Structure 1
Amino acid sequence: MTSIHSEETRLRDEIVEVGKSLFDRCFTFGSTGNISARLSTGEMLMTPTNASMGSLDPGRLSKFTAEGVHVSGDKPTKEAFLHQCMYCARESSSAVVHLHSTHAVAVSILDGLDPDDVLPPLTAYYVMRVGRLPMAPYFPPGDTALAEAVRDRARDSHAVLLANHGPVIAGKTLKEAQYAMEELEETAKLFLMLRGERLRPLSTHQAEALRSP
């Protein structure tokens, strides 16, 4: 029991730390976005609704059972199902980060991109930390029909871009999910900066070599 309590305390503190780091560096703003972490018991901690990531309280995080039932903490975000469907599709994941980060959202609004892989492999670190980025179609905020669309795409990719909404990324650890999210946002920024220029992304062979175990 002590070790489980210690694990939960550590994860609560880590969620607060990561949330403030993302907020302070303008990866998120207002009360947008949410973070979750899964305990070894299968229980889940998540940032609550209408909470700024810049001022989270570890004791007020929403807590869910392994079955997804809210049992304590503040009222959960209406996007809790996004995290739950990511965990269902990515069983090895222990954390999920969802943001409305500016450049990734801008890319999600562009027409004519490949919905199976939205961003080209511009850098090695993008390929290693994000890989492929499929895009789920638009659904209104809180629409649980989005869960099925995300789950389908998350089976083959730990990162999914939601059309006209923002990215959601699962990781084996919260730091892994955070770093992948930051790499995605910076690559989206590069992509937008370079639109109209002749690009020289990594070749298929170069990208596949980075994805190999």
Structure 2
Amino acid sequence: MTATRTELVEAAARLAALGLSPGSSGNVSLREGDTIAMSPTGADLAALDPARLSVLDDDGTLLDGPRASKEFPLHRAFYRRDPEFAAIVHLHSAHASAVSCLEAWSPRSALPPITPYFVMRVGQTPLVPYADPGDPAQAGQLEALALPFRAALLANHGLVVAGRTVAEALDAAIELEEACKLLLLLGDRPIRTLGESDALRLAERYGSPWGD
């Protein structure tokens, strides 16, 4: 058992405490060299055990622990996009799930640059077309997207974010949920977003993805 697995379990418990993983929904994972440690299928994020995570190789073969979440292909796809990604959070949080049922703001982001913190901590968040949960084809679509991003909304499903650390993935997931909540609170009112130049400046300053 490593301290990083403990950090992952603590992050999952925080997400559950915030009400962002209703029931046994959502899953988290951690890259450990050539393997991936993730929450088991049907697990409650509030009650994960660092010593009882599912450990898989890149082909999805279970190496240790209980059966993994069927969303493993989604996690693997994100890890394949960038070797710096070390942790992934996938949630069915209410506001992100609601926004995932709306039309995307643009082809490269489901949400506009609505706050500086969304741009700084999350960045552009593409909407990945619907597929049944666990469908490897959706993971393939995410992996193949030809633009930089570290968060996505899965149509009619929820959010998935990646981070270079567990803390970064946790913060991005919370910030994305808050941005979705704000967007829904605004409803049909005309929205004043950040200008593109403002978003690009913030993205460059904080190292977040924005633009093609």
TM above 0.5, yes or no, is yes
TM-score by length of 2: 0.92
Candidates 5, 29, 36, aligned match of 2:29: 36
Aligned partner of 1:15 in structure 2 is: 8
Aligned partner of 2:100 in structure 1 is: 108
- Confirm or deny that 1:124 pairs with 2:108: no
CA distance in 2, matches of 1:146, 1:74: 24
> Is 106-115 or 50-59 further displaced after alignment?
106-115
Where structure 2 has 5 or more consecutive residues not aligned to the other structure, the ranges are 206-212
2:28 partner letter: I
What's the offset of the Cα at 1:44? 1.4
What is the number of residues matched between the two proteins? 205
1:25 partner letter: L
Candidates 77, 82, 86, aligned match of 1:85: 77
Aligned partner of 1:69 in structure 2 is: 61
Q: 1:45 to 1:166 in 2, by over 3 A?
A: same
Q: Deviations over 1:69-125 (max 9, x none)?
A: 210011101101110010001221111111111100100111364342111111111
- Confirm or deny that 1:190 pairs with 2:148: no
Aligned partner of 1:166 in structure 2 is: 158
1:12 partner letter: R
TM-score by length of 1: 0.91
Detail structure 1 runs of 4+ shifted over 3 Å in the superposition: none
What's the offset of the Cα at 1:199? 1.4
CA distance in 2, matches of 1:112, 1:78: 26
Structure 2 residue matching 1:180: 3-state secondary structure: helix
Where structure 1 has 5 or more consecutive residues not aligned to the other structure, the ranges are 1-7
Aligned partner of 1:133 in structure 2 is: 125
What's the offset of the Cα at 1:153? 2.7
What's the offset of the Cα at 1:27? 1.1
Aligned partner of 1:5 in structure 2 is: none
CA distance in 2, matches of 1:100, 1:23: 11
Contact 1:32 1:100 in 2 (8 A): yes
